[in-house]
Amino acid sequence: MKKGDHFSRYSRQIFIEEIGLEGQKKILASKVLVIGAGGLGSPIIQYLAAAGVGTLGIADFDEVELHNLNRQIIHTEKTVGLSKVKSAKIFVENLNHQVSLNEIEGKINEINAEEIISQYDVIVDGSDNFSTRYLVNDTCVELNKTLVYGSILGFSGQVAVFNYKGSKNLRDIFPEPPFDGDMPDCDRLGVLGALPGIIGSMMALQALKIITDLLVSVNQLTLVDTMNWRFQTIDF
């Protein structure tokens, strides 16, 4: 793609005074890891790829199932049965072939977390279980990597930025994880598809603000209640 094509493609974000050409260059040079290619991962992957993130890592161990399609909107009926990483690759390549993709088909675990996370500038965690969230958080703290965190359930969601320029992390607000089996999840209680679209888009926006060195609120947890349409921030 020629330089002029770059400008044409990304002009609407280049025109933002706070982004400009320098900000777009930072986006094109950035390396972002998205953990999870499901409900949250779908809008995160969509908007980071659309913005022109240079290198996008996608980590997931699952396959696309029909019941995913109400919310995991990068996947389609044609990709049911494929790994979510392969399905995500098809989506990204159709949207923006300039994005360099790293496919990580497998679960982030204690053996591989450090090696994988160390390769990226910003980590965006769209996982759906506490063991992965805390492992990712602790690894980011150890490696001094910025982490964008989000979670959803029912009509509610949470978003925060952890470990950014010395800011606090997940354990500073929730010191210990609950047992995954004790907590309700979307498989049992369900989720309306637009909710992860909202929360995932917020996470993608936070990642892009971090990449372009814009002001990011830290040591805050944003609570989103879409049933009553209330947004609340908790300082910690």
Q: Which residues are annotated as catalytic?
A: 186
Q: Which two tokens stand for residue 48?
A: 């980071």
CB 196 within 8 A of CB 189: no
CA-CA-CA-CA torsion for 128, 130, 134, 137, nearest 10 degrees? 30
CB 74 within 8 A of CB 42: yes
Helix (DSSP H) and strand (DSSP E) numbers for the chain: 9, 8
- For residue 168, report the phi and psi dihedrals to the nearest 5 degrees: -75, 170
In 3D space, the residue among 185, 172, 209 whose CA is nearest the CA of residue 47 turns out to be 209
- For residue 148, report the phi and psi dihedrals to the nearest 5 degrees: -100, 120
Could you give the CA distance from residue 8 to residue 17 in angstroms, rounded to a whole number?
A: 16
DSSP string, 15-31: TSTTTHHHHHHHHHH-E
